Amino acid sequence: MSYWSAFEYCLAVTVPVFLIVFLGSFLKFKKQIDEGFVAGASSLVFNICLPLLIFLSIMENKVSLLNHLPLVMFCVAAAVLSFLLFWSMSSNWVANEDRGVVVQGAFRSNLGIIGIALCAKGFGGQGLAIGALILSVVTPIYNVLSVYALNFSQNNGRQAPWLKTLKDIVRNPLIIAIILGLLAGQLDFKLPKVLYDAGTYLANMTLPLALIAIGGAISVRELRHSSALSIWTVVVKLWVTPVIVVIPAYWLGFRGVEIGCILLMFASPTATASFVMVRTMGGNYQLASNIIVLSTIFSVLSISLLLYLLKLLALI
């Protein structure tokens, strides 16, 4: 593939997604949307639209967990090992009270919105289905490890909310949708046309609405308070994390849609949910906010370049 063709492909994948994110920020700046809209849209996406999109995509593409077991095992290992690597390294250069925030910012990706959107844009329905499969196994790991890291680094006698975390995982609408989609695909289940059409209308709302909400949640004002620590965390998140995940994936033989989805999911910016978790557990939420804002803004460049290299090397 020519350099220009690879470049055009990468721009076609990343630019539309991030343009909608930045549109959300612009609409918030112009006061055409507010925090109430962002909260309502986020709730609608998380509880209804995105679960329907994932369910329909997995069902229609007949994704099998057994057929993608090597991918699932690799992503689980990648999430755990990247956490352990950053956790051990951070002890030498991060103050203990900020350690959990930094490590979570460095290894926890925005899988459910930006990661899924990029997989869908880059590889269509198959990419969406495989991205959802990655999300289903990595999200619980992110939650559990983030709770451990934040609780440990705070060291203020607060007990980790393990029971609540496990309940949230079991009741997570996205994970429920993935399980139901896998079962429906294997059983060759078909929805009645009326329900299918209604579900499709709602599913089609998902990505534009979710991306606008993400943009609306970004506060560019926070950039004035950015520190060297937040900048270094973002560099690790956008460059180190995807590289240390994709290189082993290449060595293990992943190619095409699978390695493309691995890259897009792990290279996505820091999850916005990390801010809520940090604030709930009494951590440095301003640092968490800075990491999210910076990683979201600059991820359009890092993801485009990394995707360009994969395309140029004919790996996708």
Percent of the chain with pLDDT over 70: 94
Percent of the chain with pLDDT over 90: 57
Report the b/e string of 203-223 with b at 16+ CB within 10 A. bebbbbbbbbbbbbbbeeebe
CB 137 within 8 A of CB 262: no
pLDDT at residue 138, as a whole number? 93
Does residue 315 register a pLDDT over 70?
Answer: yes
Confidence of residue 2 (pLDDT cuts 50, 70, 90): low
pLDDT at residue 156, as a whole number? 53
Does residue 227 register a pLDDT over 90?
Answer: no
pLDDT at residue 188, as a whole number? 86
44 or 153: whose pLDDT is higher?
Answer: 44
158 or 163: whose pLDDT is higher?
Answer: 163
Determine the residue type at 215: G
Does residue 238 register a pLDDT over 60?
Answer: yes
Q: Pick from 158-162, 182-186, 219-223 the range whose average pLDDT is largest.
A: 182-186
pLDDT at residue 157, as a whole number? 45
**Per-state percent for the chain, helix, strand, coil, to nearest 5:** 80, 0, 20
pLDDT at residue 67, as a whole number? 86
How far, in Å, CA of 282 to CA of 63, rounded? 40
Report the b/e string of 36-53 with b at 16+ CB within 10 A. ebbeebbebbbebbbbbb
Does residue 197 register a pLDDT over 90?
Answer: yes
User: Mean pLDDT over residues 182-186, rounded?
Assistant: 88
- The separation between CA 279 and the C-alpha centre of its own chain, rounded to angstroms, equals 19
Reduce the DSSP state of residue 270 to 3 states and report it.
strand
pLDDT at residue 97, as a whole number? 87
Q: Is 312 exposed, middle or buried (0-12, 13-18, 19+ CB in 10 A)?
A: middle
Name beta bridge partners: 270: 109
How far, in Å, CA of 248 to CA of 154, rounded? 33
Does residue 288 register a pLDDT over 80?
Answer: yes
pLDDT digits (tens, 9 = 90+) for 136-152: 889 889 988 988 888 88
52 or 278: whose pLDDT is higher?
Answer: 52
User: Mean pLDDT over residues 230-250, rounded?
Assistant: 96
């990343």: which residue's tokens? 14
User: Mean pLDDT over residues 100-119, rounded?
Assistant: 94
Q: What is the mean pLDDT of the chain?
A: 89
pLDDT at residue 234, as a whole number? 96
User: Mean pLDDT over residues 155-163, rounded?
Assistant: 59
| Cα diameter, the chain | 58
In this structure, the number of other CB atoms found within 10 A of the CB of residue 243 comes to 14
Query: What domains are defined for the chain?
Result: 3-311 (1.20.1530.20)
CB 270 within 8 A of CB 87: no
Confidence of residue 134 (pLDDT cuts 50, 70, 90): very high
At residue 270, what are phi and psi to the nearest 5 degrees? -60, 140
How far, in Å, CA of 269 to CA of 175, rounded? 21
Look at phi and psi of residue 64 and say left if phi exceeds 0, alpha if psi is from -120 to 50, else beta: beta
Does residue 95 register a pLDDT over 80?
Answer: yes
How far, in Å, CA of 189 to CA of 245, rounded? 35
């440990």: which residue's tokens? 152
Q: Could you tell me which of 72, 45, 26 has the C-alpha nearest to residue 262? A: 72
In eight-state DSSP terms, residue 33 is: S
User: Mean pLDDT over residues 108-124, rounded?
Assistant: 93
Q: Pick from 50-64, 192-206, 274-288 the range whose average pLDDT is largest.
A: 192-206
